[in-house]
Amino acid sequence: MYVETGQVSKQGGVYKCFGHPDFTIKVNEGDILPKCTKDKPHDALWVKVAIAKKESEQTNSD
């Protein structure tokens, strides 16, 4: 899944900048994708690399 800077995320998760694959951000469903801030801020094509787990699916480390 690809999302451009300024678009609304239809699915939360971890996204990486296409131009800087080592730079990732966590995005929630409904968030507007920001500019990539690696080096000089720029519009980016964000590539989803992982789906966010719902709180009910997360395990506690207690």
The pLDDT tens digits of the residues spanning 10-23 come to 999 999 999 999 99
The pLDDT of residue 60 is 54
Instruction: Tell me which residue of 22, 17, 10, 2 sits closest to 52, measured CA to CA.
Output: 10
Query: What percent of the chain clears pLDDT 90, i.e. is strictly above it?
Result: 76
The pLDDT of residue 20 is 95
Assess contact for 31 and 9: CB atoms under 8 A: yes
**Residue 54: pLDDT over 90:** no
Average pLDDT rounded to a whole number, residues 18-33: 96
